[in-house]
Every structure is written in C-alpha cells, then in structure tokens.
A and B are shown apart, each in its own frame.
Chain A
C-alpha cells in the first residue's frame, strides 16, 4: 500500500511494502550495475527494444522476474529460469567466472543501501536475512548455470568437429584443442 502518511509524521513500512515501493528503483540500479560491466554500457542501458539490444533487454527482463521471486520468498527452483536468461549470455562473454556471476550478488548491497538511506525503511535492514539468503542461493545457482553453459559450449564445439559440418580444414582432431587452449590461470578475487 506504499507509505502511510499521517499528519506530518512518516509511518514506518513493512518489508514487503518496501520491496514493492522500491521495486523499480532497485531493479534499475541492479540492471545498471550489471550493464556497467560492459565497456560501452550506455547503449545497453538506454535502448529498451529487446531485439535491438539483446544484452540490455534480456538483463532487464531477467532481473525483473528474478526480483519478484527473491522478494516473495519463492522456491529457489524458480530462480533458475530468469537466472538462465542472463547467465547464458554472460557465460560466453569476456568475463572471468566471478565477473560473470558478480552482478547477481549486487542486489544485496543495492537493496541495503536504498533501505538504509530512507527514514521509513531504515529499521528494515535487520530483517533482510531471508532475502539475502535467497540472493545467496541465487548466486550459487547462477554459478551452476554458468558452468552448465560453459560445458554446453564445449559440447557444441565438439559436436561441430565430430559431425563434420565444418570439414573445411584438416585441423579437426579434437586433441588439437588440448594443445592450444591451455587452461586459464585461476584468478583469485583479491579485493572482496
């Protein structure tokens, strides 16, 4: 029902009301945060047509769906579909695994920051445990999805080599993949 105003006094909000009231603001910041991980982010942030802007459009759509699930205490199984929409994209882009998953995590901080800033909601910060736990589960699920997508990518690559739909050159022995694609050194998150 939004903020209950009585004669010059701000009445405090319940947590579910706060989630509804700040929905657009939180999602906007969250989407903005995720899109800033791209070098030229302004187009990704501004263009609203999902077909002209697949990265921005899908990120926005996925985060809006996910926000609903996270704030309504949905079954974690329901996180998968919206998460997949965004992880499938980030899994094949030039990110380290941590960078690919990181933006999911950001909603915790964004929500806290917004609730803390406002008098009517400041007291709710201590009640965020369940929500933040849901975000943690979403981050874990995102990492699983990231790995699944990577594995699928390698399967696609192997299938292409095996089915010979591309037998244009003679360098198609799968063992060649091992030779040239040395594993990336693992980079540790130092600053968190």
Chain B
C-alpha cells in the first residue's frame, strides 16, 4: 500500500524530465539529446557584433545571422560538418596539448566529481571527463583507427547537428576554471578542451552575446563596456575626488603620459561598477602614498580579455593591445590590477602569442628595489605581489583597526590561483590590513578553490539559475564560515568575481559583502598629510 504510493510519487519526482538536459536518464549518454529552454542557455550573439568582429584584421567570425538555440534550425552553413572536422584537424596539428588530451585519458574518474557544474546540477555530462568525451568521441571517429573500425564500441560517434548542439550546451556550462585538472593524474586540462569546443563553434557562427559584445567593445574602444576615452578619464577622476574627500589627500594621477615608469592596467569594471569602484579607490590611494611614477591609459583601459573565451586569435589581439600601449608610452613595465583571466592570458599564453616583451624592462620596484624575476618575460607585476613587497619592506603604514567593520574570508579566484599560483601574496596582505580573517575549508581554497560559477563570460542574467547552481560549492563554503565565525565580507582579487560573487551572496548568503583586497588596503592605509574623516565603512563610507 504505502510502497505502491511511494513508487507513484517517485515516478512523478524521479522520472520527470530534467530541465537542464530535457533527458530521462534511461538511455546511453550519447543518445540523450539536449533541449534548449529559456534559462538553460545564454543568448546567441547579435548579428552586428559578429559582423563587426569578422570585419577585423586577423579575426574570423563567420556566419553572422539571426538564429536562436531554441529553434531546430540553427542556420548553419551548408558545409558546416567539413568546417568543423577541418577545424579540429587544424587544431590537433597546431596544439600538441589537444592531441595529448584527446589520447591519454584513461577514464579513471578522478576528475568526475570535482567540477562545480556537476556538483550543482548532478548532470553527468558536466563531469569533466564527459565534457571532454563530447569532443573525444568525434576525434575517435574521424582521427583514430580504432574509432574508424569499431565505431561506437570504441566510444566513437559521428559528428551530427545534435552533437554540435550538445557542444554548445556543455562548453557553456564550463567556466574553464581548471579545478578538474588539479585532480587528473595526467594533468588533462578540460578547460582547454572547452576552449577548443568554443573555437570550433565560432567557425560556424555559434557564439553567445555576453562574450562577443564585450570582446568587440574591447577591440573598438579598449574596454568591455565600449566607453570612450573621455568617459573612462572622467570616472577615474571622479574616484580620485572621492578618495580626496574621504582622506583629505589630493590624488595626482595621469592618463596616457609618455615616459611614466609604470603603466597601470586593471579591469574596467573596477572603474565603473560597484563594488569594484572601491578597489580602484584603493589603488589610487596606494599609488599616491608611495609616490609611484605611473599612468593610466584610456586605450588599454581594460585588463579583462574576453578573447580567451572565444578563440586564440581574438585573445592574442586583445592581449597585444596592452603591450602596444606600453610600447607607445615608453614605460618600463606594467602593473596589473585585480583581474582574473587577464592573468591567465599573461601568465600562460602571452609569451607564445605576443612575447617576449623585450621592449620593456624586468619589473623593479622603485620603492623597494625588488626585482620581480617571476615577471622577467611578461614584464607585468600583479598588484598583490607589488603591495605585499611594499608591506614586506615596511614602506607603507597600515592600521588594521580601520577595517574593524570587516570580518573577512578570502576566495581564491580560479585564474590567479590555478593559472599563476598567486596564493600567498593576497593572504600576506590580509594578515597586515586586518586584525583577523578566516579561511574557508581546506578542500575549497588555494589550488582546490571553487569557481564563482559565472566565469568565462557566463555572468549574464538570463542563466541566473545555472549560475546559482554552479556557484553552490563556493557559496556553501562561505556559509560555513559565516555560521561559524560571523564572517561578513568575502574578499578576492578578481573583478568578475566581485560582480558575480555579489549576486551569488545575494541569493545564498544575503548580507555578506564582496570586496577586493586592494579596497581593504585602501581602508587601512595611513597616508602622509591625511585629514581623514570617521570612516566607519572604510572607502565605502558615505560622507
């Protein structure tokens, strides 16, 4: 009696179609088609953005058209299949890593449960090994003997429109965070498989607007928001005025100044959007205090590089812009602000794409004399490295009690943590600007950090639920330190995180603020000649 009822309940509850995949999980994964519904995909790129990018030198974004993932017909070019297979062949020849990643997975499953998308959705195709399998199955079919002979038995399958749609669904449910790669005994980096999937999709005109619009803006005016030089300048001026109002110290900053020692580049979100604004105020205060000879640029007005989320040509172009500006201004080296993927590109790809930057000097802090040999090739120093070095040499005065309103924890952003190994510098800074702060559980920080859930251009509002699912592992760890230690602030060194974690906290842990580490530095900084107001909320205080 009761058993029969429970079975009926199960039928309705367990076997209902999953909205993520539209799938009833009774078939082999290869046979389960994807279903696009409002909320489970990011909007397609607008025609004019694709056309613009395609018109640019060295860029290839063909097949601009009106289309929608929800329609059956994606209006692919007639020879789409040849284009994809040819594109795959080209990439297998060009990127040795791709060939290795395709060949050497032993399906041990160590990565399977390490992805935040899998942990938040329970969808098997979000296991990193399966995500890679989406491409590997095609690779096997067309590029390996076993696949040609044995087909499905060897895990091979033919490239079809259904497979292409699956690629689109799941390459945009991966934030290229590389957490899975930390656990793979062979170091297979599924993020790079996702990058290839996205590149291949662009060859037939399949891409999302949230990535292509900022990328085209960046190519056109120098920043994601498409803001022109005077607007960028006005905003920085405005922030400098704010710092002066709060601290009584006049900020002397400059733009596009030839002959400055340092070019400073940060994500434009720091200059335009809360809560990044306060981080930018922190930079301004710090540079003023140490008297750094530096300049902002209204052309290289963006650290972020959405090219990384599209294809290597666009990534190269947007990265090249920063170095072109450094060369034009004749600076000695670059300091980069709190950004995520800018650092991934600089640290992992810049050298082979645009480097080495021989026209610049190996960064040497004029304040402490420290030579940053770790940046000997890219000539770009992270603001946290630079600040930690100042603290280490006692070059700035900090009063942690000025941050007494803050009870912080620290989120390792995926790219600085896993792509450049920046783990201890931000922590060293926090130790000096805060009376105390707490770590989240061990398996959620440092190399094992969980992604904010909205990286790689997935921070668009139409997929808010997906973002909340993917951000669950991160939010869950934050909740733990809120409950246990009364944490009220989540600090980080990434501009995308400052935006995405804000929404993540607003859903999962309302009341927890998000801030940049440089904001906390600015709060604690004791400035020469200051005439500071009572700043109960640091640089956020309204006066």
Interface residues of chain A, those whose CB is within 8 Å of chain B, are 33, 36-41, 43-44, 47, 49-55, 57-58, 88-89, 92-96, 98-99, 102-103, 105-106, 109-110, 112-113, 116, 149, 152-153, 155-157, 159-161, 163-171, 177, 180-182, 189-192
Which of A95, A96, A165, A189 is within 8 Å of B502, CB to CB? Answer: A165
Which of A37, A116, A180, A182 is within 8 Å of B14, CB to CB? Answer: A37
Chain B residues contacting A36 (CB-CB under 8 Å) are 10, 14
Which residues of B409-449 are within 8 A (CB) of A?
441, 443-444
Q: A51-B480, A152-B507, A166-B460 are in contact. Are A39 and B224 (CB under 8 A)?
A: no
Bound state CA distance, A109 and B112, in angstroms? 33
Ranked 3 nearest A-B pairs via Cβ: A38-B122, A94-B19, A109-B6
Q: Which residue of B lies closest to A111 (CB)?
A: B2
- 8 examples of A-B residue contacts, CB within 8 angstroms: A39-B123, A39-B124, A94-B19, A98-B13, A105-B9, A167-B273, A191-B8, A192-B9
Bound state CA distance, A167 and B499, in angstroms? 11
Q: A93-B469, A192-B12 are in contact. List 13 more A-B contacts (CB 8 A).
A: A39-B25, A50-B480, A93-B121, A93-B122, A93-B465, A109-B2, A152-B510, A153-B465, A156-B507, A157-B464, A164-B272, A165-B499, A169-B213
Chain B residues contacting A177 (CB-CB under 8 Å) are 461-462
Chain A residues contacting B122 (CB-CB under 8 Å) are 38-41, 44, 55, 93
Q: A102-B13, A166-B273 are in contact. Are A53 and B119 (CB under 8 A)?
A: yes
Question: Is B296 positioned at the interface, with any CB of A under 8 Å from its CB?
Answer: no
**Contact of A168 with B10 in the complex, beta carbons under 8 Å:** no
Question: Is B298 positioned at the interface, with any CB of A under 8 Å from its CB?
Answer: no
**Contact of B469 with A92 in the complex, beta carbons under 8 Å:** yes
Q: Which residue of B lies closest to A47 (CB)?
A: B113
**Contact of B506 with A159 in the complex, beta carbons under 8 Å:** yes
**Contact of A99 with B38 in the complex, beta carbons under 8 Å:** no
Chain A residues contacting B213 (CB-CB under 8 Å) are 168-170
Bound state CA distance, A163 and B275, in angstroms? 10
Chain B residues contacting A38 (CB-CB under 8 Å) are 121-122
Chain A residues contacting B209 (CB-CB under 8 Å) are 169, 171
Bound state CA distance, A191 and B13, in angstroms? 10
**Contact of B6 with A92 in the complex, beta carbons under 8 Å:** no
Majority SS at the chain B contact face: helix
Chain A residues contacting B124 (CB-CB under 8 Å) are 39-40
- Tell which of B77-85, B347-355, B372-380, B471-479 binds the partner: B471-479
**Contact of A171 with B43 in the complex, beta carbons under 8 Å:** yes
Q: How far in angstroms is the closest Cβ of chain B from A100?
A: 9
Bound state CA distance, A167 and B444, in angstroms? 30
Which of A33, A57, A98 is within 8 Å of B12, CB to CB? Answer: A98
Chain B residues contacting A156 (CB-CB under 8 Å) are 464, 503, 506-507
Bound state CA distance, A119 and B207, in angstroms? 63
Chain B residues contacting A57 (CB-CB under 8 Å) are 476
Which of B8, B10, B16, B121 is within 8 Å of A33, CB to CB? Answer: B10
Chain A residues contacting B224 (CB-CB under 8 Å) are 168
Chain B residues contacting A164 (CB-CB under 8 Å) are 272-273
**Contact of B461 with A160 in the complex, beta carbons under 8 Å:** yes
**Contact of A52 with B443 in the complex, beta carbons under 8 Å:** yes
**Contact of B472 with A189 in the complex, beta carbons under 8 Å:** no
Chain B residues contacting A94 (CB-CB under 8 Å) are 18-21, 40, 121, 123
Cβ proximity bits B105-149 to A, threshold 8 Å, 1 near / 0 not: 000000011000011111110010000000000000000000000
Bound state CA distance, A167 and B507, in angstroms? 20
Which of B11, B20, B40, B464 is within 8 Å of A153, CB to CB? Answer: B464
* Number of interchain pairs (Cβ within 8 Å): 170
Question: Is B3 positioned at the interface, with any CB of A under 8 Å from its CB?
Answer: yes
Bound state CA distance, A49 and B209, in angstroms? 38
Which of B38, B275, B503 is within 8 Å of A160, CB to CB? Answer: B503
Question: Is B230 positioned at the interface, with any CB of A under 8 Å from its CB?
Answer: no
Which residues of B490-510 are within 8 A (CB) of A?
499, 502-503, 506-508, 510
Bound state CA distance, A167 and B217, in angstroms? 12
Chain A residues contacting B18 (CB-CB under 8 Å) are 39, 94
Bound state CA distance, A102 and B275, in angstroms? 39
Q: Which residue of A lies closest to B504 (CB)?
A: A156
Chain B residues contacting A47 (CB-CB under 8 Å) are 113
Q: How far in angstroms is the closest Cβ of chain B from A91?
A: 9
Which residues of B205-240 are within 8 A (CB) of A?
209-210, 213-214, 217, 224-225
Chain A residues contacting B272 (CB-CB under 8 Å) are 164, 167
Q: How far in angstroms is the closest Cβ of chain B from A86?
A: 12
Bound state CA distance, A38 and B465, in angstroms? 16
Chain B residues contacting A106 (CB-CB under 8 Å) are 6, 9, 13
Q: How far in angstroms is the closest Cβ of chain A from B33?
A: 14
Q: How far in angstroms is the closest Cβ of chain A from B309?
A: 12
Question: Is B5 positioned at the interface, with any CB of A under 8 Å from its CB?
Answer: yes
Bound state CA distance, A172 and B32, in angstroms? 34
Chain B residues contacting A190 (CB-CB under 8 Å) are 12
Q: A55-B120, A106-B6, A156-B506 are in contact. Are A92 and B465 (CB under 8 A)?
A: yes
Question: Is B468 positioned at the interface, with any CB of A under 8 Å from its CB?
Answer: yes
Q: How far in angstroms is the closest Cβ of chain B from A22?
A: 14
Q: A44-B122, A103-B13 are in contact. Are A92 and B507 (CB under 8 A)?
A: yes
Chain B residues contacting A54 (CB-CB under 8 Å) are 119-120, 472-473, 476
Q: Which residue of B lies closest to A113 (CB)?
A: B2
Bound state CA distance, A86 and B112, in angstroms? 23
Bound state CA distance, A192 and B15, in angstroms? 13
Q: How far in angstroms is the closest Cβ of chain A from B69?
A: 11
Question: Is B459 positioned at the interface, with any CB of A under 8 Å from its CB?
Answer: yes
Question: Is B185 positioned at the interface, with any CB of A under 8 Å from its CB?
Answer: no
Chain B residues contacting A50 (CB-CB under 8 Å) are 476, 480
Q: Which residue of B lies closest to A105 (CB)?
A: B9
Chain A residues contacting B462 (CB-CB under 8 Å) are 177, 180-181
Q: A51-B444, A181-B39 are in contact. Are A109 and B469 (CB under 8 A)?
A: no
Chain B residues contacting A153 (CB-CB under 8 Å) are 464-465, 468, 507
Bound state CA distance, A41 and B441, in angstroms? 24
Bound state CA distance, A135 and B9, in angstroms? 15
Q: How far in angstroms is the closest Cβ of chain A from B320?
A: 21
Bound state CA distance, A149 and B462, in angstroms? 17
Which of A88, A96, A109, A110 is within 8 Å of B508, CB to CB? Answer: A88
**Contact of B441 with A51 in the complex, beta carbons under 8 Å:** yes
Chain B residues contacting A182 (CB-CB under 8 Å) are 38
**Contact of B469 with A95 in the complex, beta carbons under 8 Å:** no
Which of B9, B473, B499 is within 8 Å of A166, CB to CB? Answer: B499
**Contact of B9 with A102 in the complex, beta carbons under 8 Å:** yes
